[in-house]
Amino acid sequence: MRIAIISDVHANLEALEQVLRDSEKQGVEIIHFIGDAVGYGCNPDECVKLLVKHCDIKLLGNHDYVALGLESTEAFNKAAQEALSWTQNTISEKTLEILADFELEADYLDYHLVHATPDHPDRWQYLFDTIEAREQFRHFTQSICLIGHSHFPSIFVQNGDGAVTMHMKSAMQCQPDRRYIVNVGSVGQPRDKDNRACYVIIDTDANKILFRRVAYDIDATQAKMRKARLPEFLIERLAAGV
């Protein structure tokens, strides 16, 4: 079976549509979404609608949380605050009702799914290095924890003696005596200097983790964002992938 994990769509409809098309071509049978449907981009309603249609598990991210009024924008930078204000003024009540049913974390087979970190799903902590990862391995029991939030695709591997290493690979063969934290990257706003949409496929038969990069019409997304008068910083970074 092939399972797709997608995260950080951020209302980027063009990127999401291409990822969904690619997942179908790759023989994906199940899709799970692990947070941040909205924020930054200008198609929140359309993206949430597609996520509900195609995804089994659907989680909240910090931008979704703020859009729902569950938290303030105090921790966000100015551009993100402006984009969230635009989102809150534009998003439909129906979409907010749908988002309110998304969860903070979930389990599926031998996988734990969360937007940020498993220790405190609603604190929106970032996971960037092996020291932080070593602590996070203590907070789930499954073989693999799937996260997003940082928009930076990576894999942390814990071996049998507890040592943790970090890897940036396009694929990894999973070993039965090791555990994994996988950051699946971002569909709608990649930040690893590759502007293509990013998501992960888990091949349960081959026991492999596969990263997929998918090109989309960035110019069209940027044009819509400019028309909506969203911050230029957010528009320009799409092309740079940072």
Tens digit of pLDDT for each residue in 13-63?
999 999 999 999 999 999 999 999 999 999 999 999 999 999 999 999 999
Residue 148: pLDDT band (50, 70, 90) is: very high
pLDDT higher than threshold 90 for residue 75: no
Judge whether 200 and 146 are in contact, CB under 8 Å.
Answer: yes
The residue-averaged pLDDT of 81-98 equals: 96
Distances (CA, A) of 72 to 62, 66, 77, 186, 194: 10, 6, 12, 23, 30
pTM beyond 0.85: yes
pLDDT at 74: 87
Nearest residue to 221 via CA among 77, 12, 1 = 12
The residue-averaged pLDDT of 103-112 equals: 97
pLDDT at 67: 96
- Point out the least confidently predicted range of 72-81, 115-124, 137-146, 187-196: 72-81
Q: Please list the helix, strand and coil fractions of the chain in percent, rounded to the nearest 5, in that order.
A: 35, 25, 45
pLDDT higher than threshold 90 for residue 81: yes
pLDDT at 96: 98
Edge-to-edge strands, sheet with 2-6: 30-33, 2-6, 197-203, 208-214, 171-173
pLDDT at 137: 97
Report the alpha-carbon distance of residue 190 to residue 241 in Å, rounded: 5
Please write the tens of the pLDDT for every residue from 193-236: 999 999 999 999 999 999 999 999 999 999 999 999 999 999 99
Please write the tens of the pLDDT for every residue from 160-192: 888 999 999 899 999 999 999 999 999 999 999
Tokens representing residue 216 in the block: 């989309």
Four-CA torsion 57, 63, 65, 66, nearest 10 degrees: -160
pLDDT at 20: 98
The residue-averaged pLDDT of 1-13 equals: 98
Set out the domains of the chain in order of their start, with CATH numbers: 2-109+170-175+185-240 (3.60.21.10)
pLDDT higher than threshold 90 for residue 143: yes
pLDDT at 160: 87
Judge whether 198 and 5 are in contact, CB under 8 Å.
Answer: no
pLDDT at 119: 97
Judge whether 12 and 222 are in contact, CB under 8 Å.
Answer: no
Spell out a b/e string for 13-50, using b for 16 or more CB atoms within 10 Å of the CB, else e. Answer: bbbbbbbbebbeeeebebbbbbbbbbbbbbbbbebbbb
DSSP calls for 13-58:
HHHHHHHHHHHHHTT--EEEE-S--SSSSS-HHHHHHHHHHH-SSB
